[in-house]
Amino acid sequence: MTPWPIAEVLPHAGDMILLDHVEELEADRIVCTRTLQTDGLFQDPDGSLPAWVGVELMAQSIAAWAGCRARADQQPVQLGFLLGTRHYACNVDAFPAGTCLRIEAERSFHDEHGMGVFNCRIDAPGIHAEARLNVYRPPDADAFFKQIAGETQHD
């Protein structure tokens, strides 16, 4: 477990924080948990969480990994982007309320420009999901957003 609360390693705030804790942290790997309460964001009326939200849980685990690394280096937590996945497989349609999900992300590729690939999985009794997520963290987020804003104003 890290010495930081999850809110201090994610660039998210409030209800958008879908993880509860960082349980394990290694150089290229993180394990986070989420126990599903009955009233969380994205949850169905019966308290279950649609399986498609698993991609966001995986992405937030990657963000937590990056945030832990930043905090350990005494750097600010920065915004990153989920570019997508070509394949997300889950053996259930929804994660039932009360379930404690174990979300693991392991970095398999990164480059100096901020591109990365993580192999991810979600496990709980009777539940398994997996995906390979492509992510991007610009070296300078402020410059990146200014560049995008300038390009959209010229279109």
- Domain of 94? 6-154
59 located within any domain:
yes
118 located within any domain:
yes
Number of domains present in the structure of the chain: 1
Percent of the chain at pLDDT exceeding 90: 76
Q: How many CB atoms lie within 10 A of CB 83?
A: 13
Q: How many CB atoms lie within 10 A of CB 131?
A: 22
pLDDT of residue 40: 82
What's the CATH code of the domain at 131? 3.10.129.10
Q: How many CB atoms lie within 10 A of CB 91?
A: 10
77 located within any domain:
yes
28 located within any domain:
yes
Tokens of 78: 């920065």
1 located within any domain:
no
The per-residue pLDDT for range 61-105, each reduced to its tens digit, is: 999 999 999 999 999 999 999 999 989 999 999 999 999 999 999
Q: CB-based contacts of 131: which residues, under 8 Å, 6+ apart?
A: 54, 55, 58, 85, 87, 88, 89, 120, 121
62 located within any domain:
yes
- Do residues 148 and 97 make contact, with C-beta atoms less than 8 angstroms apart? no
Residue 118 β-bridge partners: 107, 133
The per-residue pLDDT for range 100-140, each reduced to its tens digit, is: 999 999 999 988 888 999 999 999 999 999 999 999 998 77
